[in-house]
């Protein structure tokens, strides 16, 4: 038996700030950890994990190294030709923004740009922004353009050359509204009025000036995060602690989470947190990419934070020894918390609600009454001498909550157990499942498992509408395995246009479960002559194409449901159509004509 994970769409962004479904202020999240590749190979696409689909698919790419730092991958840029690019996209050229990056910049004497949507049209002033490390000093600079006059430069006094570090810059058109941070500390502040980039592409690992790339980055980039607003101070602190734990460097200010230190056990992974600087700067609900969500603190005061991470143990219930007498098994994975203020003094944020997302984890009848929260209250690293906490309730959708928990405190470890391993087994991990087109005529399916128990076989299923499924191929499982296994197969006769894939796993006893659905576009997206604008759009889109292209227009949501009846179509002439999409909820949709299919984003 294996089971399959998915995320609860609430505060699932970096550090638990924003969501990864495209509905929050998180507009771009480039994380090398979401990329599959061979170490030492050049990858030319860096996919966006924010849910907005702002993938960087143009440029020469960069060298993928896994692991690069602390067990995590990163891209290495050679300083002369490597970069990722995305065509001008309004969503990542906002008037206000906050940007984080995690880098290991080299000591070479060249300009080293991390992110740029710089526009410098001849005779037309400047626009956009750029973050880069200065030749010689290797100090960081944050440039902004203006409609007339030269670039406005905010220069920091900190060099991070040769070491992993983070940079943060935010901009809003107010006094002292342009800020540059390095490793969590303010590195430069100024008052500038930026003119937004009106047309130029955005680049990672290179700057942009009129047409050609320049200012090539030399070193490693692990992550770039962008919000289309200036997030609050508490959220900035939480994300800085998330990055510092993940990329194994020390913050010089507001180093709240110290469980990433070796002396504290290296709980470096999927760090997220809640906290409050003051009434105007707080964050009280966070999950990140983990299955654990903490929210609703009853006594969160000024300068108080609760930040947590885990030891990267497997999400399997193989620990049958270090458990209290009434518990039959617990997760191998263990979490640990820092509950302190900015001076590292212990605080108490009050009771909290702890939610576990066990979607598709348990096969059969999962009973909330079987679940137990285990907290190492005496901090001796042992759970067997603790009293299990009962009282979990099902919130639906395989979400289970322990409400009003007071046992979590600074420095304590915790995990989840079950008193009935047969009826309420806890997750066995599917690490990932991907479906990618190859040469526009095949689809490569790949998946990875951490552990398998009683696993008979996998089935690849395919659909044109995400409702009606057919079997493509079957692949034998390993039966029982405690090591990481990789599987691949190919659909050599995929549908043209949009199609959907899912992975079904079947036990020897007939029980089965499904993965999340993946979508693939073949052929028609490349051949299409239709233009759609604006994209993203608020209330209306315009389609321009030939008569046959516009003969039939159908709109689907991301799960394949036909939502055309929620829109109003108006043909202007035989080659132009306007569609009112104001009644659609914000998110991703597919517009399908008689010859092609397109992805659009409704704000």
DSSP label at 185? Answer: E
pLDDT for the residue 598: 79
Same domain, yes or no: 219 and 336: no
Query: Using CA atoms, how far apart are residues 398 and 424, in angstroms rounded to an integer?
Result: 12
Say if residue 524's pLDDT is above 60.
no
Task: Please list, residue by residue across 531-541, b when 16 or more beta carbons sit within 10 angstroms of its beta carbon and e when fewer do.
Answer: ebeebbbeeeb
Domain membership of residue 1 (yes or no) is no
Same domain, yes or no: 547 and 497: no
pLDDT for the residue 420: 86
Say if residue 9's pLDDT is above 50.
no
Closest by CA to 551, choosing from 521, 577, 531, 526, is 577
Is the peptide bond prior to 537 cis by the omega test (within 30 degrees of 0)?
A: no
At 505 the three-state DSSP class reads strand
pLDDT band at 249 (very low <50, low <70, confident <90, very high): very high
pLDDT for the residue 4: 34
> pLDDT above 90 covers what percent of the chain?
63
CATH at 157: 2.60.120.200
Same domain, yes or no: 101 and 141: yes
CA 123 to chain centre: 39
Say if residue 211's pLDDT is above 70.
no
Same domain, yes or no: 557 and 506: no
pLDDT band at 359 (very low <50, low <70, confident <90, very high): confident
Instruction: Give the containing element (helix H, strand E) for 241.
Output: helix 233-247
Same domain, yes or no: 321 and 452: no
Decide if 64 contacts 40 (C-beta within 8 A): yes
For the ranges 162-171, 403-412, 443-452, which has the lowest average pLDDT?
A: 443-452
Three-class DSSP labels, 516-553: CCEEEEECHHHHCCCEEECCCECCEEEEECCCCCCCCC
Q: Which residues contact 499 (CB under 8 A, 6 or more apart)?
A: 443, 462, 463, 464, 519, 520, 522
**Rounded CA Rg of the chain:** 25
Query: Using CA atoms, how far apart are residues 575 and 30, in angstroms rounded to an integer?
Result: 37
Same domain, yes or no: 53 and 185: yes
pLDDT for the residue 5: 33
Query: Using CA atoms, how far apart are residues 346 and 340, in angstroms rounded to an integer?
Result: 4
> pLDDT above 70 covers what percent of the chain?
92
Of 473, 496, 522, the last residue of a domain is 522
Task: Taking the CA atoms of 447, 453, 458 and 464 in sequence, report the sign of the dihedral they define.
Answer: negative
Same domain, yes or no: 273 and 410: yes
β-bridge mates for residue 470, sequence order: 462
Domain membership of residue 188 (yes or no) is yes
Same domain, yes or no: 402 and 272: yes
Of 492, 522, 552, the last residue of a domain is 522
Domain membership of residue 367 (yes or no) is yes
pLDDT digits (tens, 9 = 90+) for 331-354: 889 999 999 999 999 999 999 999
Q: Across residues 192-198, what is the average pLDDT?
A: 91
pLDDT for the residue 364: 47
Decide if 146 contacts 125 (C-beta within 8 A): yes
Same domain, yes or no: 457 and 334: no
Query: Using CA atoms, how far apart are residues 126 and 114, in angstroms rounded to an integer?
Result: 19
pLDDT band at 50 (very low <50, low <70, confident <90, very high): very high
Is the peptide bond prior to 90 cis by the omega test (within 30 degrees of 0)?
A: no
pLDDT digits (tens, 9 = 90+) for 291-302: 999 999 999 999
Q: Across residues 354-378, what is the average pLDDT?
A: 83
Same domain, yes or no: 345 and 287: yes
Closest by CA to 73, choosing from 240, 205, 272, 221, is 221
For the ranges 478-482, 512-516, 580-584, which has the lowest average pLDDT?
A: 512-516
pLDDT for the residue 10: 63
For the ranges 359-363, 487-491, 564-568, which has the lowest average pLDDT?
A: 359-363
Angle at 115 between CA 109 and CA 121, to 5 degrees: 90
Domain membership of residue 109 (yes or no) is yes
pLDDT for the residue 6: 33
CATH at 474: 2.70.50.50
Longest Cα–Cα distance of the chain, Å, equals 77
Decide if 273 contacts 238 (C-beta within 8 A): yes
pLDDT digits (tens, 9 = 90+) for 389-425: 999 999 988 899 999 999 999 999 999 999 987 677 6
Query: Using CA atoms, how far apart are residues 314 and 311, in angstroms rounded to an integer?
Result: 9
Domain membership of residue 457 (yes or no) is yes
Domain count, the chain: 4
Closest by CA to 259, choosing from 247, 276, 271, is 271
Query: Using CA atoms, how far apart are residues 546 and 337, in angstroms rounded to an integer?
Result: 60
Say if residue 208's pLDDT is above 90.
no
DSSP label at 246? Answer: H
pLDDT for the residue 360: 55
Q: How many CA atoms lie within 13 A of 246 on its CB side?
A: 26
pLDDT band at 3 (very low <50, low <70, confident <90, very high): very low
pLDDT for the residue 425: 66
Range of 329's domain?
Answer: 250-418
Say if residue 174's pLDDT is above 90.
yes
534 vs 524, higher pLDDT: 534
Same domain, yes or no: 460 and 541: no
Say if residue 288's pLDDT is above 80.
yes
DSSP label at 427? Answer: P
pLDDT band at 210 (very low <50, low <70, confident <90, very high): low
Task: Taking the CA atoms of 83, 87, 91 and 92 in sequence, report the sign of the dihedral they define.
Answer: positive
pLDDT for the residue 247: 98
Closest by CA to 76, choosing from 92, 60, 54, 87, is 60
pLDDT for the residue 526: 40
pTM for this prediction: 0.73
Domain membership of residue 9 (yes or no) is no
For the ranges 11-25, 127-141, 285-299, 552-566, which has the lowest average pLDDT?
A: 552-566
pLDDT band at 60 (very low <50, low <70, confident <90, very high): very high
Same domain, yes or no: 405 and 434: no
Q: Across residues 372-394, what is the average pLDDT?
A: 97
Q: Across residues 356-365, what is the average pLDDT?
A: 66
Q: Across residues 349-370, what is the average pLDDT?
A: 81
Domain membership of residue 59 (yes or no) is yes
pLDDT for the residue 316: 72
> How many helices and strands, by DSSP H and E, does the chain display?
2, 44
Of 418, 439, 470, the last residue of a domain is 418
Domain membership of residue 441 (yes or no) is yes
For the ranges 241-245, 349-353, 473-477, which has the lowest average pLDDT?
A: 473-477
For the ranges 217-221, 308-312, 527-531, 580-584, which has the lowest average pLDDT?
A: 527-531
């Amino acid at each position: 038996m294996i089971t399959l994970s998915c995320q609860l769409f609430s505060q699932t962004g970096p550090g638990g700030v924003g969501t990864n479904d495209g509905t929050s202020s998180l507009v771009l999240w480039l994380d090398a950890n979401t990329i599959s590749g061979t170490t030492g190979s050049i990858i030319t696409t860096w996919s966006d994990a924010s849910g907005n689909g702002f993938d960087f698919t143009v440029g020469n790419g960069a060298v993928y190294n896994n692991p690069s730092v602390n067990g995590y991958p990163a891209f290495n840029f050679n300083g002369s030709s490597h970069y990722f690019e995305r065509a001008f996209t309004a969503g990542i050229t906002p008037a206000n923004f906050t940007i984080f990056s995690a880098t290991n910049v080299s000591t070479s004497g060249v300009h080293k740009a991390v992110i740029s949507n710089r526009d410098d049209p001849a005779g037309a002033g400047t626009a956009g922004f750029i973050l880069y490390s200065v030749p010689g000093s290797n100090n960081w600079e944050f440039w902004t353009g203006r409609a007339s006059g030269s670039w406005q430069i905010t220069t920091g006094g900190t060099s991070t050359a040769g070491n992993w570090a983070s940079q943060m810059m935010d901009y809003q058109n107010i006094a002292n509204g342009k800020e540059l941070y390095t490793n969590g500390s303010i590195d430069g502040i100024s008052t500038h009025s930026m003119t937004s980039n009106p047309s130029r592409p955005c680049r990672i690992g290179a700057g942009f000036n009129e047409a050609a790339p320049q200012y090539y980055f030399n070193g490693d980039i692990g992550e770039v995060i962008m919000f289309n607003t200036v997030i609050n101070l508490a959220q900035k602190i939480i994300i800085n602690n998330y990055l510092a734990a993940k990329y194994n460097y020390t913050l010089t200010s507001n180093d709240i989470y110290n469980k990433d230190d070796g002396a504290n056990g290296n709980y470096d992974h999927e760090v997220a947190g809640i906290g409050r600087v003051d009434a105007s700067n707080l964050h009280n609900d966070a999950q990140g990419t983990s299955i654990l969500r903490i929210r609703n603190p009853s006594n969160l005061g000024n300068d108080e934070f609760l930040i947590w991470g885990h030891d990267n143990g497997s999400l399997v219930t193989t620990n049958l020894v270090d458990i209290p007498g009434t518990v039959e098994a617990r997760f191998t994975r263990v979490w640990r918390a820092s509950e302190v203020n900015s001076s590292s003094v212990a605080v108490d944020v009050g009771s909290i609600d702890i939610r576990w997302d066990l979607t598709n984890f348990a096969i059969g009848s999962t009973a909330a009454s079987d679940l137990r929260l285990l907290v190492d209250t005496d901090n001796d690293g042992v759970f067997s001498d603790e009293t299990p906490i009962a009282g979990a309730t099902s919130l639906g959708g395989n979400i289970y909550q322990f409400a009003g928990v007071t046992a979590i405190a600074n420095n304590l470890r915790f995990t989840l157990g079950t008193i009935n391993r047969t009826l309420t087994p806890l997750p066995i991990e599917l690490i990932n499942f991907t479906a990618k087109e190859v040469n526009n005529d095949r689809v490569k399916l790949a998946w990875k498992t951490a552990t398998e128990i009683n696993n008979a076989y996998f089935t690849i299923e395919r659909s044109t509408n995400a409702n009606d499924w057919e079997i493509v191929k079957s692949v034998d499982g390993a039966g029982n395995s405690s090591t990481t296994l990789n599987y691949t197969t190919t659909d050599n006769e995929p549908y043209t246009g949009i199609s959907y894939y899912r992975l079904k796993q079947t036990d020897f006893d007939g029980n089965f479960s499904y993965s999340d659905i993946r979508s693939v576009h073949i052929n028609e997206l490349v051949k299409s002559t239709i233009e759609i604008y604006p994209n993203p759009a608020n209330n209306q889109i315009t389609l321009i194409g030939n008569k046959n292209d516009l003969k039939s227009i159908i709109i689907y949501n991301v799960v394949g449901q036909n939502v055309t009846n929620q829109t109003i179509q108006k043909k202007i002439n035989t080659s132009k159509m306007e569609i009112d999409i104001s009644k659609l909820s914000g998110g991703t949709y597919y517009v399908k004509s008689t010859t092609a299919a397109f992805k659009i984003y409704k704000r």
